[in-house]
Amino acid sequence: MQNTQNYIQKNKDKFLNELIDLLKIPSISADKAYITDVQNAAESVAQNLKNSGVENVQIFPTKGHAIVYGEKIIDANLPTVLVYGHYDVQPADPIELWTNPAFEPIIKVTEIHPEGAIFARGSCDDKGQMFMHVKAVEAMIQNNELPCNVKFMIEGEEEVGSVNLGTFISESKELLKADIILVSDTGMLSNDTPSITTGLRGLSYVEVEVTGPNRDLHSGLYGGCVANPINALTKMIASLHDENNHITVPGFYDKVQELSDNERNEMAKAPFSHENYCKALNITNVSGETGYSTPERGSIRPTLDVNGIWGGYTGEGAKTVIASKAYAKISMRLVPHQMPDEITELFQKHFESLAPDGIKVVVTPHHGGEPVVTPIDSLAYQAASFAYETTFGKKPIPVRSGGSIPIIALFEQILGLKTIMMGFGLDSDAIHSPNEHFGLFNFYKGIETIPYFYSEFTKLTKK
Ligand code: BES
Ligand code: MN
Ligand code: MN
């Protein structure tokens, strides 16, 4: 891999400039106004793959946004790595909180990133991380050091639940034949504590609508006489956690597995500073389920959180009104073996039962996804661990993450393939938030580390 590594060192500026061009495209999958930009991003990724030496590059249209495919087949007898990533991004709002516009990438130094970080929506999630794979493969192809076959599948709908990707993979089993799926769409503990993501939480997402009287009412004439939907909704929501921050939906924890003390002790070895955590978020204390540490609350325990709530008068000044309706969006993060459809149903039943007299409740499910845990005794994990150890000089720690990538569970169910998650982002990179960024150290380290995964995985699995 020496020529590959030399090529990477020589082409750092080129790689960065190419990423900057991709980051300038506002490929916001959730907003129809950006449909052309999303398509442009797909074409840009396809062009980049071609320029890198990847072959058979195709853009597959779907009912939603397109999927970019490409491959470099060296020899059918060699193992095949299937790289998954996404080129779509979250909306940039609230845009006024960006110190520099979200789609005008800029390099700035931060406390955590003294080498500089690239600020732009999608820099870390996931254009920057996906692009590391394109550049790592380019370096190997251009130096005749690609040790096995590689396939790319880069989608444009991850941030809206990957609704069409399941159908695509079901219909493309032959095309997607591989030995392992490789993903960089998660994070690591810190720049001097590399880690490999070994789990993701699942997701159940619902919207609730609470209706009282058939129209907005004068709060003086009717106040005190009819159920107020906003009062009712907030009370219902408040009752979803008990005094220990346990979720009160009956049956919610039935399938949750308690980890053994041994597993919890292993997890607790990952460095965590309560003080730095609070400082970074400007909070006076953490909050969560009694009996669990902050890292546990954020990874191995399920949650229920209101993500948005609205209703009534929210404009300037005061308007004395009792709203007819109130709404909330609620996410539940799930752990093995909670199934999103079952949890959604339990929630729905329970929430409807909470409605006080005079209030109607409608619960509408949105997209969901199953949790995943990946083994740490596999050859792929061993190869990834070797790769990090080579470039960081330290063995990576296995860490279960709190985020969700719903398609990963489907990879196993539909394609029968395990996934290895080599994330290089940091929690402090502000993904989904204003001022998202990705460290240059992380971007380049990712490109340097990935080739060692290929060489080691090939060595370990070659028939
Ligand atoms: N890349 C993230 C998920 C992630 C980030 C996992 C960091 C682990 C560490 C992904 O793009 C994402 O945002 N997923 C959504 C779910 C999706 C259905 C919108 C999420 O977790 O909220
Ligand atoms: Mn992502
Ligand atoms: Mn995301």
| Mean residue pLDDT across the chain | 97
- Return the CATH number of 2-200+371-462, one of 3.40.50.2000, 3.40.630.10, 3.60.15.10, 3.40.50.300: 3.40.630.10
- Asked whether 105 lines ligand 1 (CB < 6 A), one says no
- Asked whether 428 lines ligand 1 (CB < 6 A), one says no
Tell me the one-letter amino acid at 326. A
- At residue 254's C-alpha, the angle toward residues 249 and 256, to 5°, is 110
Given this model, what pLDDT does residue 110 score? Answer: 96
Predicted structure pTM score: 0.95
Q: What is the mean pLDDT of residues 34-46?
A: 98
- Distance between Cα 178 and ligand 3 center (Å): 25
- Encode burial over 236-253: b for 16+ CB neighbours within 10 A, e otherwise: bbeebbeeebebebeebe
- Distance between Cα 144 and ligand 1 center (Å): 35
Q: What is the mean pLDDT of residues 94-104?
A: 97
**Cβ proximity of 289 and 246 under 8 Å:** yes
Q: What is the mean pLDDT of residues 161-188?
A: 97
Helix, strand, coil fractions of the chain, as percent rounded to 5: 35, 25, 40
Given this model, what pLDDT does residue 462 score? Answer: 83
User: Which atom of ligand 1 lies nearest, measured to the CA of 368?
Assistant: 18
- Asked whether 403 lines ligand 1 (CB < 6 A), one says yes
Tell me the one-letter amino acid at 212. G
> In this model, does residue 208 exceed pLDDT 80?
yes
Using a 10 angstrom Cβ sphere, with 0-12 exposed, 13-18 middle and 19 or more buried, the burial of residue 341 is exposed
Beta bridge partners of 204: 332, 368
Instruction: For residue 86, give the ligand nearest its CA.
Output: 2
DSSP E strands in 73-125: the ranges are 80-86, 106-108, 117-119
DSSP E strands in 370-446: the ranges are 372-373, 397-400, 419-421, 437-439
User: Which atom of ligand 1 lies nearest, measured to the CA of 423?
Assistant: 9
- Asked whether 128 lines ligand 1 (CB < 6 A), one says no
Q: Closest by alpha carbon to 153, among 141, 168, 167?
A: 168
> In this model, does residue 463 exceed pLDDT 80?
no
Q: What is the mean pLDDT of residues 166-173?
A: 98
Q: Tokens 């199934």 appear where?
A: 339
Q: Closest by alpha carbon to 49, among 66, 65, 70?
A: 70
Given this model, what pLDDT does residue 367 score? Answer: 85
Given this model, what pLDDT does residue 442 score? Answer: 98
Q: What is the mean pLDDT of residues 273-285?
A: 96
Q: What is the mean pLDDT of residues 404-411?
A: 96
Given this model, what pLDDT does residue 360 score? Answer: 98
End-to-end Cα distance, the chain: 21
- At residue 21's C-alpha, the angle toward residues 19 and 26, to 5°, is 105
The domains of the chain are located at 2-200+371-462, 203-256+302-367
| Position 133 confidence tier, pLDDT thresholds 50, 70, 90 | very high
Given this model, what pLDDT does residue 399 score? Answer: 95
Mutate to test the pocket of ligand 1, among 157, 163, 405, 421 (most ligand atoms within 8 A of CB): 405
Q: Tokens 């959180």 appear where?
A: 305
- Asked whether 338 lines ligand 1 (CB < 6 A), one says no
- Return the CATH number of 203-256+302-367, one of 3.30.70.260, 3.30.70.270, 3.30.70.360, 3.30.70.20: 3.30.70.360
Q: Cα dihedral angle (46, 52, 56, 59), rounded to 10 degrees?
A: -10
> In this model, does residue 50 exceed pLDDT 80?
yes
In whole angstroms, what separates CA 343 from the centre of its chain? 20
Given this model, what pLDDT does residue 52 score? Answer: 98
Q: What is the mean pLDDT of residues 122-127?
A: 98
Q: What is the mean pLDDT of residues 394-423?
A: 97
Q: Closest by alpha carbon to 83, among 72, 94, 97?
A: 72
Q: What is the mean pLDDT of residues 31-50?
A: 98
- Distance between Cα 437 and ligand 3 center (Å): 13
Tens-digit pLDDT profile for residues 349-394: 999 999 999 999 999 999 899 999 999 999 999 999 999 999 999 9
Residue whose CA lies nearest to ligand 1 atom number 18:
161
**Cβ proximity of 72 and 55 under 8 Å:** yes
- Asked whether 158 lines ligand 1 (CB < 6 A), one says yes
Helix ranges, 172-310 (H): 229-238, 261-267, 274-281, 294-297
- Asked whether 429 lines ligand 1 (CB < 6 A), one says no
d(CA 268, CA 274) in angstroms, rounded, equals: 13
User: Which atom of ligand 1 lies nearest, measured to the CA of 427?
Assistant: 7
Given this model, what pLDDT does residue 150 score? Answer: 98
| Position 27 confidence tier, pLDDT thresholds 50, 70, 90 | very high
**Cβ proximity of 149 and 79 under 8 Å:** yes
- Distance between Cα 401 and ligand 1 center (Å): 10
Instruction: For residue 186, give the ligand nearest its CA.
Output: 1
Q: Closest by alpha carbon to 406, among 127, 233, 155?
A: 155
Given this model, what pLDDT does residue 61 score? Answer: 98
| Position 102 confidence tier, pLDDT thresholds 50, 70, 90 | very high
Residues in the chain: 463
